[in-house]
Structure 1
Amino acid sequence: MTKKSFLSAILLSLLLHCPVEGQQRPIMDELGRTVKAPVSPRRIVSLAPSITEILFALGFNEEIAGVTSFSDFPGAALSKPRIGSFVSPSMEMMVSLKPDLIVAIQDGNRWETIERLSHLGFPVYVIDPKGWKGTLKTIEQMGNAFGKREESKRILDDMMKKKDRIVSLTRSLPSPRVFYQMGLSPVVTAGPGTLADDLIRMAGGRNIAENEPTPYPAYNTETVMLKAPEVIVLTSMERERDHTHLVKMWRDWK
């Protein structure tokens, strides 16, 4: 083989093995589904605020083509096109964005939405984080699947350092009983196996729903008061609504 033909063979080999725009490969999502996704996604649609936050943390920005209504972190997410709520996103809006990758979440997005998008030919990668450890695994797998392995390692290292710091600061403190309200009507809380439950424990608290048989049990006010929480954390996706009355209600009950 001549020197020229040898160099040509090396160049051809490099071209065949280097990712190019539009190139796809099969990856497995967290449900065990094989998804034919781009090696380097260029137009990503996120179907949940948590997904949006992870994508930005992994270093995506210009590649994010659309997000759900309440995706407000980081600040750059506010300028992205809105596709509606993560429970009922607009199919027309998602299709119009021409995504080359859609990232969904098992615990939140409707399965019919995922199936319909898949049937339309869009690659839909589904995450399924369970608790703190599951969230770490999700970030690692997303980094591996989307070509952001080093970025995901950096995120995980930072999260573990912060967790260790918080645990060390609260280890010797009293453990208050905590009620985490994440639904208004009905009142829904976070039970065992959820990220909120793990975070409460890491912060030195005791979740009043830690022994419930389901991850997201519904409570009435009487049940909450019988469990005598010392700390109440209020969360809601209804950002425009004034929640002063909720604070007053719990204080009056106490």
Structure 2
Amino acid sequence: MSNKVYFFRSMKAALPLLALLGGLAQPAGAYQLKDDAGHVSEWSAPPQRIVSMVPSLTETVCALGACARLVGVDRYSNHPPQVAALPKLGGIDDSNIETIVALRPDVVLVSPSSRMAERLQALGLKVVTLESKSYADVRRVLGKTAQLLAVQDTDRLWRGIEAGVGAAAQSLPPAARSARVYYEVASGPYGAGESSFIGEIIARLGARNIIPASMGPFPKINPEFVVRANPDVIMVGSRDAEGITARPGWERISAVRRQQICVFSREEGDVLVRPGPRLAEAAQIMARCLREHSGGGDKSGTPR
């Protein structure tokens, strides 16, 4: 066998490995992305016209330096401030399909709960479905979005997030690390479990979550469960706080009796419930709540 034939056969055998290492087996001028719905899309160049129908993905695109590529967002995307000038395209249940198509996007970013993906694909648009429930999911989606945008900032951005979460944990006095926390993400009630990104931040702060991982990331719970768990601190957004202390039996909960309830403003709530690049800011907000209810430290901020 000639050296030339051997070389080409060897290269052919190595192509799968090269593809894993850097996509070297990809056809020139094209690349693919497999989303969280298992759908594979292909582009000949990085998308330059992006519609984001998920606030956390809007924030991720901007954190990766590609805010200028956004041509439209959902009605809830409000950060960073420059997205306020973009066309608002509705929400999960009432997306403005005609306007999305008219914007001629190279890609539309949606969540798995969106009902528009199949319709948009049928109209010839490329749709990428991404979802973050856990802390690890946030990092994975950050990487997927960076791959889609063909940018290289993920490691730097993630190191900053981790450093910010760590700093928030370091800011807490020892008493706060024994607090038992109930975080209500929505009326229903739905709580943030240990396996959710919110629950993992609570754990990184050193506090204890009353909702175990076995119940799932964001389970709907029986209010009596919270009474039995008797949390020291309750965290809830202002949208869902009304009437929370009047629930049957909740007057017996330690957090209610001692008025250890953090009611987060709408702006803080947006930061806390979005699994994106503002995780460190979310950790700082929760840390401030725990400091305020541990007998020391900063008494500023809206939690009360």
TM-score range, shorter chain: 0.7 to 0.9
DSSP 3-state at the match of 2:242? helix
Alignment partner of 2:130 out of 127, 151, 156: 127
Q: Please state if 1:43 is matched with 2:45.
A: no
| TM norm structure 2 | 0.65
Go from structure 1 to structure 2 and tell me whether the alpha carbon gap of 1:249 and 1:75 turns closer, same or farther (over 3 Å shift).
Answer: farther
Which residue in the other structure is 1:207 paired with? 209
Q: 1:25–1:39: 8 Å Cα contact kept in structure 2?
A: yes
1:80 to 86, 107, 115: 86
How far off is 1:92 after superposition? 2.4
2:142 is matched with: 139
Which residue is equivalent to 2:191?
Answer: 189
Change (3 A) 1:47 1:38: farther
Deviation at 1:231, TM superposition (A): 1.6
The answer to whether the 8 A contact 1:44-1:66 is kept is: yes
- Post-superposition shift, 1:194? 1.4
Q: Is it true that 1:245 corresponds to 2:254 in the alignment? A: no
Identity within the alignment, %: 24
Structure 1: give runs of 5+ residues left out of the alignment. Answer: 1-22
SS in 2 for 1:233: strand
Taking the aligned partners of 2:63 and 2:222, their CA distance within structure 1 comes to 37
| 1:171-215 deviation line (CA, Å, top 9, x unaligned) | 84432111111112x211122421111111112221111244332
In structure 1, distance between residues paired with 2:211 and 2:87: 37
Q: What corresponds to 2:169 in structure 1?
A: 167
Contact 1:68–1:83 under 8 Å retained in 2: yes
- 2:244 and 2:85 map into 1 onto residues whose CA distance is 31
CA distance in 2, matches of 1:244, 1:215: 21
Aligned residues: 222
1:91 matched to 2:97? The reply is: yes
**TM-score normalised by length of structure 1:** 0.76
Displacement of 1:142: 1.4
Match of 1:118 among 112, 118, 121: 121
Detail structure 1 runs of 4+ shifted over 4 Å in the superposition.
Answer: 170-173
Tell me the CA shift for residue 35 of structure 1: 0.7
Question: Judging changes above 3 Å, is the alpha-carbon distance between structure 1 residues 142 and 169 closer, same or farther for their aligned structure 2 residues?
Answer: same
1:52 is aligned, of 54, 58, 65, to: 58
Amino acid at match of 1:245: E
Displacement of 1:87 in angstroms is 4.6
Which amino acid in the other structure matches residue 203 of structure 1? L
TM-fit CA distance, 1:168: 3.6
